[in-house]
Amino acid sequence: MDGNGRWAKTRNLPRIEGHRQGTKSVEAVIRAAREIGVEYLTLYAFSVENWQRPTLEVRGLMALLMETLKRYAKELADNQIALRAIGRLADLPEKVRAQINITEAKTAANAKMTLLLALSYGGRVELIEGVRALARRVRAGELAPADIDEAAVSGALYTVGAPDPDLLIRTSGEMRLSNFLPWQTIYTEWYVTPTLWPDFRREDFFAAVSEYNRRERRFGGV
């Protein structure tokens, strides 16, 4: 979800206002995805690299995250959407982790859609932690090195139990993966739009899905 800062800058607003406007796009996309039957939606909200941003901006983002989780917990529950946070969650402030736990617990039984929220997430960090988990299993005699296959690696990642993404939507015209789900997206279809995330709405989401539906996916085959 890229472009919040640029959206604010073009309007001579503080960067946090771009992030605040971006929460409206989050709401619109979740509702649109739920409307057409999407079963898994992953939103890249905060990366491990984002901790390098100015302290004031990071604090504002954490406060906005808390506010958003509280505000939409009931809507998620009412629409049968389960929240699941993925990433290096121990990095988050204690209050934020507590609110995530509350929202996850309230929505755990929902079965229509799973919303994965990537927080303090980094694809390389995820892979490193997954490899370490597998190494511990090998050392404990629970797993033979020869038995480590794609399924074993996938089962050691934050996204265990979730399917690989079919479609990756990249806003603000950026043409890079930015450390997002590198293992899971090897055959994911990309859709890049110049639209900044705060301006991305229901119609934009449907345009991306429509483009995806015109693609022919061969997964390396003929």
Where in the sequence numbering do the catalytic residues fall?
Answer: 2, 50
| Residues near 26 by beta carbon (within 8 Å), at least 6 away in sequence | 1, 43, 68
Phi, psi of 79 (to 5 degrees): -100, 15
CA distance 61 to 206: 27
Q: Would you say 124 and 55 are in contact if contact means Cβ atoms under 8 Å apart?
A: no
Helix 55-78 and helix 94-107, axial crossing angle in degrees, nearest 10? 10
CA distance 123 to 185: 11
CA distance 14 to 16: 5
